[in-house]
A and B are shown apart, each in its own frame.
Chain A
C-alpha cells in the first residue's frame, strides 16, 4: 500500500504557482521523499527529492515540514506543459526492499 496521501486532482492557472501537498505521516527517519510526474502516456519523470531540508532545482521546490510528516511540491510558474499526474513517493523500508511505493498521485490541470 502507498505510504503517501495526495489530493486526487488540482487546478492551477497558467503562470501561477502550483502547490501540491503530500502527507507521509509514517515516514521513517532515514527515508527520502521523492516526487515524479507522468505526462499522459509517457514514462515517469523525476522532479526532485529531499530528506529534511527544503530543496530547489530548475524544475521545482520541495518544502518538507519539520516533523517530516508532510511536504509540498511547488512549481513556481506553471505552464500548460506542466499538466500531468504528480506522484509523491517514499521507499518501502521492509527488509531489503528497495522499491518505491506509488499511489494514485495528483492530477494537475494547468489552465490557460
Chain B
C-alpha cells in the first residue's frame, strides 16, 4: 500500500505564474488535509477536503489559493499569481475517517517545496 504521494517534490515558479500541487492519498482514504510550513516553523493548517467537498478552508488565504479533491484523481492545491511569500513546503495528509475525534491518525506525504523567484 503506497503512502501519500505528492508531486512534484520541488517546484520553481516566477512571480505571477501559477503553481499546481498534487496529492494522491493513501488507498482507501477519502479525507485530505493540506498544510503549509515556512522555514523554522510548525505546520499551518490550510484546508480539509473530503471527496468532492471542501469541509474546512479556514486556513486558506482568501485570494489566489484554491483546493479541490475530485471524485477521480488526486487532490490539487492551486496557487495563482504566486508571490515570493508563497515560498514554503506544502504537505498533504490523508486519513480513513475524519481526523482527531475518533483517534484516527493522518499520514503525510513528503511535501512539495515551492520556490518563487
Contact = CB atoms under 8 A, between A and B. Distances in A.
A87 B42 contact: yes
Contact of B56 (A31, A34, A45, A96): A96
Interface residues of B, number: 29
A112 interface: no
A43 B110 CA distance: 4
B11 to A, nearest CB: 15
A51 B93 CA distance: 21
Contact of B105 (A30, A49, A101, A105): A49
B105 A46 contact: yes
B91 A32 contact: no
A67 B66 CA distance: 41
A29 to B, nearest CB: 11
A99 B48 contact: yes
A49 B104 CA distance: 9
B33 interface: yes
Interface string B28-64: 0001010100000111110010000001101100000
Interface of A: 2, 30-32, 34, 36, 42-46, 49, 51, 87, 91, 96-105
Interface of B: 4, 6, 31, 33, 35, 41-45, 48, 55-56, 58-59, 91, 93, 98-101, 103, 105-111
23 contacts: A2-B42, A31-B101, A32-B100, A32-B101, A34-B100, A34-B105, A42-B111, A43-B108, A43-B110, A44-B43, A44-B91, A44-B93, A45-B108, A46-B106, A87-B43, A98-B48, A99-B48, A99-B58, A99-B100, A100-B99, A100-B100, A101-B45, A104-B41
